[in-house]
Chains A and B, each alone.
Chain A
């Protein structure tokens, strides 16, 4: 760098300052400018490939000029080719539909540690990656190779600057030392460490993010199915490449016994020298000193190494092969040798070959590379086993390891790279071949988008007085032959269910009736029903009754189609039903499900919900999934003429709460709201009449429709904390479900109407607390007058209270007959359970447990 010799802390600080300034300027360059610089730099490096190769061999005294030319050429050409069209600046990805944008930003200044084994090609590679990603880079060369590494960096820098890059973008340490290496690593933003394990460890301990590599100890298995000519020449080609100085190079070949001699003969024929026992010992004593590679043999030719060991081999010997048997570390041949010295093993069988390869990888090549030569088709299973067992990040098939591991020459899609990640096995943060993406920070710009909503309902909803027989006729038309009727004991004994079975009999549809269903249906009863179904084998299930019979029918349906299900899994809570961990099984393969409602309230005939109680544990499982949605719903008011007064009031008020909670829900939608508002209007208008005069056909009909519409609303918008609390109040204190809701509704509506709640519900559609307005809209629809939303809201509450009185429901929990001491004793547990109810999630205001408790108290004493 101009006028700066980097040789101490002071000059290094100055260098970092300059590179950082240059990088800051470069970070504003456009993709077009960057690509122009990238091209110019790659071109210059490409042209200098031979000069740099000669320099490297002269300076380090290691390797082969002609092979280093290939490495340099590769670093320039393959890297350019791989990333020429890759976007690395600003917006690199955009999806308007989902509102997502990904921006690429440089990491800043990269510290690049360059080894002696590939001093110029690694420098070219890293410099090009840095340029393409708008990073600055500082090289810490190895003292043995500093001149050629600096020259390579200089060539790339000059070309880049000529093409418009800031002048100090690439820097280097002129007088390398471990201290300066450490200083540049802690002064940069990211470390690209290629070097010995010591250096890589130092990089990781510098406190800066590091992308490092590890040592390799590549084993090669030659299977019986291998093409021996290809295998022998490939091994020789790779092992002799640059005198064995690529970290991916083969260190050992493991042969199956039936191809041992053939492979040996072929390898010798193509130029390998096989050592005799005496020579093997000499090589052992020379290549390794106390477990470390003798520096004098690294990157030397086979004849030179032989001389160092004290014997002669022909000048034509390309590699030295030692036939050895131990794969333990005590055997020097089992190590990484960084030279054209190869170990050769004879395996007993394929399993033994795998075990040997595993051990060699464990000896010093965790995470790096392994190779197998085998017939891709005939030995498919063996290759798969090899792939499973090798703890290496590159598993190569029928490929020379050195030229194969660096990617894109002997294979496709293995990224071209001179820095090969070894994953956690090799103590690395990266297990792939290092590429541009490792030098970029990707910023994801995620725009707010609303969640998809849908409106789902049974494919057929029959309504109107006397629609049931018409609807049942359709089953005949659909070709249904066997119908299983689920109903409760009362409807069966009173002959009510005969209306269905008679009709089916008339049409010649075989049917049977299961009537052992109690209120709060149990798993035991559902299992019994499912058992009966399995022997009857229906193609249609007709559930007839109120919520209990319909829920029981749905559960039997599930057990009939999927006997293996676990209700504890199916009852899993969800934040978003479409993202729930549990996948509900597909329903309807065996039977078509028809729900006939005989009460005006639960809405179960049109909802995807069912509640079942495990009688052995007392646990209630609320099951929710659109798979549970009945295929056909029948809402025939004629079936409701005989509903007793109390049930009319309870279930009617339940329907009111369904509609109001669906309106308030974070998932409310115009579709569901239409249904819900109409239901509210009808219930106010007709519930008193249906209650007072059960024979009023109009009132019964409108109430029937209102309840089913409210059901369709909450089947899609879901409910809220009123239902959460009512579920627990009902089960803790044995109050009817509708009554429990009626007792809590006012408290919950006041809670939800708060304009500054402690916490809002979490759903993108629900963008600010808006419940007061929604309630006011309901009031407006009902013609309730008020100057402000608050006034309208109060009017609505008054009207709801009046309705409650009118249909004979109590004002407070206390008035409903729950003793004070029992209520208070169970209050904390009940509040906690209510909070955890599935219905809580859709509430527009996210409740604190203490807030639920306060609402309970208010509803108990009347406030």
Chain B
């Protein structure tokens, strides 16, 4: 009855006609599932094109699923892979979508700053480095922009009528857009796509008239936050990024 369209270690995504089921593993934290649905519902209210949430429901096998609109289309990641010649154009579009998202706010979403503070503490870095990072975070400008938190080309679906739909809002917060940008840069780097990372950073800073140094200021923080995921293969790379200081 349902077509599986994506499979991760702890969640599967199915299509059922016009609906999409995101089904979570049995041991998945219930609060995280509801939080993701709530995030997405809140973002939906901003008017941004996202899959509409219908319900969170318990399936017959006991697992929980978020039920939302199925949005027909191809991800930007897939499009880039299919048309390498158009890569620059797609990347530019990717940035424009991110910028239009940053122009929005959803005051009831979780605060990016709180999330970073929690993640720094869970980073496994030593206390003095964490102190430096907390201090750095404390001094960064506090904004209220809509941030995706996992903004990468596979999370942007381009529909047949050429509209862009942003999916997967489990990490959404409101906060500083440059932090969201730093996070996207890091995601490219972690995917070993240095070219895209550099190109993305350069184009983004130009497009948004942002100083690269300002985005770079967030890199130690997003790197430390990523360490909270505890992926051993990333650990060395991330700890170099996180262990920096700024004295007078």
Interface residues of A (CB under 8 A from B): 115-117, 142-144, 176-178, 181-182, 194-202, 213-216, 245, 247, 289-296, 298, 329, 338
Contacts and interface: CB of A to CB of B under 8 A. Distances in A.
Contacts of A182: 138
A195 B213 CA distance: 20
B244 A215 contact: no
B12 interface: no
B238 to A, nearest CB: 11
Given A116-B247, A215-B247, A291 B213 contact: yes
Interface stretch (B16-24, B94-102, B127-135, B143-151): B127-135
Contacts of B220: 289-290, 292
Given A117-B248, A216-B248, 18 more contacts: A144-B131, A182-B138, A197-B139, A198-B135, A200-B248, A201-B139, A289-B220, A289-B240, A290-B216, A290-B244, A292-B246, A293-B244, A295-B132, A295-B245, A298-B247, A329-B212, A329-B213, A338-B247
B17 to A, nearest CB: 46
A245 B247 CA distance: 9
B216 to A, nearest CB: 4
Contacts of A195: 135, 247-248
A294 B128 contact: no
B139 A200 contact: yes
B247 A115 contact: yes
B120 to A, nearest CB: 10
A170 B85 CA distance: 67
Q: Interface residues of A: mostly helix, strand, loop or mixed?
A: loop
B246 A142 contact: no
A214 B248 contact: yes
Max chain A C-beta neighbours (<10 A), residue from B213, B216, B217, B248: B248
B28 interface: no
A841 B17 CA distance: 88
B128 A144 contact: yes
Interface string B225-248: 000000000000000110111111
Main secondary structure of the interface of B (DSSP, over half): helix
Given A200-B139, A201-B139, A290-B216, A142 B131 contact: yes
B7 to A, nearest CB: 34
A202 B135 contact: yes
Contact of B247 (A196, A201, A329): A196
Contacts of B131: 142-144, 176-178
Given A177-B134, A178-B131, A291 B247 contact: no
B139 A178 contact: no
Contact of B138 (A142, A143, A201, A296): A201
A114 B78 CA distance: 52
A201 B135 CA distance: 9
A142 B240 contact: no
Contacts of B74: none
A215 B127 contact: no
Contact of A199 (B127, B139, B212): B139
Contact of A289 (B135, B137, B244, B247): B244
Nearest to B134: A178
Contacts of A198: 132, 135-140, 246
A176 to B, nearest CB: 7
10 contacts: A142-B128, A143-B127, A143-B128, A196-B246, A198-B138, A199-B139, A200-B139, A290-B219, A294-B243, A338-B245
B239 to A, nearest CB: 11
Contacts of A115: 247-248
Contacts of B240: 289, 294
Q: Which 9 pairs from chain A and chain B are nearest by CB?
A: A198-B139, A201-B139, A292-B244, A178-B134, A291-B216, A198-B135, A144-B128, A196-B246, A290-B219
Given A177-B131, A290-B220, A196 B245 contact: yes
A8 to B, nearest CB: 15
A202 B247 contact: no
A295 B248 contact: no
A114 B217 CA distance: 22
B244 A294 contact: yes
Nearest to B137: A198
Nearest to B120: A178
A349 to B, nearest CB: 29
Contacts of A245: 247
Contact of A298 (B219, B241, B245): B245
